[in-house]
């Protein structure tokens, strides 16, 4: 009996140990299978494979152009007849940039400023072959251009979806800064949707801290999948070199421009015929809109798609085909990129009601600015903001003088007394006041009646300044 009990105790001990080991293994294995712990513990160690895949599609672009200085006094004496002329000195200027191959048969996407006014364009591939390139088309409005070389079976990097980018994503910038071919720098997405940078007319830039220097322009910005998500375009710098802020045209915009340039040789943009301005919290309150997002229509072109769809001045556009509109630059880019003849649905706010209006996209008749900067509100005392302001009726000669259409109607500011409340409102001499508190003003008599009815220190007005219409709040 003693041996049997001893054997039973030993067997029980062994089973217990095995059970404990099994349980420990299951617990530790479960913990290791949670992705977030694995990702943090095992960060990406190298981007070498991505660089190897993308680099062959990146090219070096060198250009030559003739530069001429205006004649100086010394030139006038040096080149007096019969010795020559006084046209100023000329010389050849060479510059370098980058580009990315976008088709196997030789189409290359780069920046417009890289090839601007170039008389000769030379492309050097990753394998050091060189080709003379021809310009296919350029779009200064987005600072993009397409050139072509006579080659086949070229390597092409895949495109990524820039709309899916998030701040903090890793990115690589590949290019030829200072002529140092196929230089790779790494960083993150610092911001998206950057507009009003002052680089191009149509802006929706990706901001990155990946080092971008002179010569990087036109090269690709790629994600960690090796996909092109932007075209490196510019830097913000006070020294001319890298200071941690670079900008790239997003891939979704670049692809549309690229396709249009290859197919048409130019960019055909959509148009609906409105002028808009960003919505501030103060304007949202005055228009009885609870959430301060959207853009306000300040003008609708007669017989335009917007006019035919029933859009009015004062409507607030909230969504464009399901996409929320938070600023005028977003709307402008969406309209410009829309297909001609397509129908888009605009969700608008009008008189405390929500409406959805279908609008047919037309081709833009001419490049024109469709958004207006917001004037800063005044911070004066709660007085009648029109005090010290003198106005006159609009007549044909005055309309021509201040650059407005006679049909716009309104009263013209012709005098502002120094030190008066009107001086601090942001109004200027020559402004055309078209509305006060959403009421049309067509004469000085209307103006006087309107300001007598004012019962609050902040007043909503519609101004036409040199043909650009915008709302502003006076006296707030």
Active site amino acids: 113, 143, 217
Q: Among 407, 337, 411, which residue's Cα sits nearest to residue 163? A: 337
Is residue 252 within 8 Å of residue 241, measured between CB atoms?
A: no
By the 8 A CB rule, do 360 and 338 touch? no
Q: Which residue has the tokens 């609009």?
A: 394
Name the DSSP class of 408.
G
- 408: closest CA among 463, 353, 338? 463
Beta bridge partners of 358: 345
Backbone angles phi, psi at 340, to 5 degrees: -60, 130
Contacts (Cβ under 8 Å, ≥6 apart) of 242: 211, 212, 213, 235
DSSP state of 376: P
Between CA 273 and CA 361 the distance in angstroms is 9
Provide the angle, in degrees to the nearest 10, between the axes of the packed helices 328-337 and 251-264.
30
Question: 56 phi and psi, to 5 degrees?
Answer: -60, -20
Distance separating alpha carbons of residues 399 and 147, to the nearest angstrom: 46
- Chain centroid to CA 324: how far? 16
CA distance 156 to 175: 15
DSSP symbol at 375: P
First to last CA, the chain: 100
Per DSSP, the residues of 252-321 read HHHHHHHHHHHHHSS---EE--EEEEEPPHHHHHHTT-SS--SEEEEEE-TTSHHHHHT--TT-EEEEET
Q: Are 357 and 323 in contact (CB under 8 A)?
A: no
Two structure tokens written together for 54: 């993308």
Q: What is the dihedral of CA 402, 406, 410, 416, to 10 degrees?
A: 20
């Amino acid at each position: 009996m003693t041996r049997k009990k001893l054997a039973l105790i030993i067997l029980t001990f062994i089973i217990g140990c095995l059970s404990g080991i099994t349980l420990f293994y299951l617990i530790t294995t479960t913990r290791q299978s949670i992705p977030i712990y694995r990702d943090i513990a095992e960060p990406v160690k190298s981007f070498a494979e991505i660089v190897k895949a993308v680099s062959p599609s990146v090219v070096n672009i060198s250009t030559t152009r003739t530069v001429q200085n205006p004649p100086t006094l010394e030139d006038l004496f040096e080149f007096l007849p019969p010795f020559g002329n006084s046209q100023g000195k000329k010389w050849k200027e060479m510059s370098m940039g980058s580009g990315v191959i976008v088709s196997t048969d030789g189409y290359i996407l780069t920046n417009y400023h890289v090839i601007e006014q170039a008389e000769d364009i030379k492309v050097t591939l990753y394998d050091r072959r060189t080709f003379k390139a021809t310009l296919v088309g350029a779009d200064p409005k987005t600072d993009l251009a397409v050139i072509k070389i006579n080659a086949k079976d070229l390597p092409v990097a895949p495109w990524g979806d820039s709309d899916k980018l998030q701040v903090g994503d890793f990115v690589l910038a590949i290019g030829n800064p200072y002529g140092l071919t196929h230089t790779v720098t790494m960083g993150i997405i610092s911001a998206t949707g950057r507009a009003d940078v002052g680089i191009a007319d149509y802006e929706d830039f990706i901001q990155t801290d990946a080092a971008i220097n002179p010569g990087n322009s036109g090269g690709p910005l790629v994600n960690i999948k090796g996909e092109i998500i932007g075209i490196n375009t510019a830097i913000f710098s006070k020294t001319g070199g890298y200071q941690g802020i670079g900008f790239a045209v997003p891939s979704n915009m670049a692809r549309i421009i690229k396709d249009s340039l290859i197919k048409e040789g130019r960019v055909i943009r959509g148009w609906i015929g409105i002028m808009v301005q960003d919505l501030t919290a103060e304007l949202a309150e005055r228009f009885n809109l609870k959430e301060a997002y959207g853009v306000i229509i300040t003008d609708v072109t007669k017989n335009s798609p917007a006019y035919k769809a029933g859009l009015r001045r004062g409507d607030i556009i909230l969504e464009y085909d399901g996409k929320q509109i938070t600023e005028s630059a977003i709307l402008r880019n969406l309209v410009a990129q829309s297909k001609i003849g397509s129908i888009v649905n605009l969700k608008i706010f009008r008189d405390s009601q929500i409406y959805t209006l279908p609008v047919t996209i037309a081709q833009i008749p001419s490049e024109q600015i469709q958004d207006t900067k917001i004037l800063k509100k005044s911070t004066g005392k709660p007085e009648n903001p029109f005090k010290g302001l003198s106005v006159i009726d609009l007549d044909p000669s005055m309309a021509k003088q201040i650059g407005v259409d006679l049909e716009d109607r309104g009263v013209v500011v012709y005098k502002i007394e120094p030190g008066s409340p009107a001086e601090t409102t942001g109004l200027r001499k020559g402004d055309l006041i078209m509305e006060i508190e959403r009421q049309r003003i067509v004469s000085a008599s209307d103006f006087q009646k309107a300001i007598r009815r004012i019962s609050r220190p902040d007043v909503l007005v519609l101004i036409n300044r040199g043909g650009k219409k915008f709302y502003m709040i006076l006296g707030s």
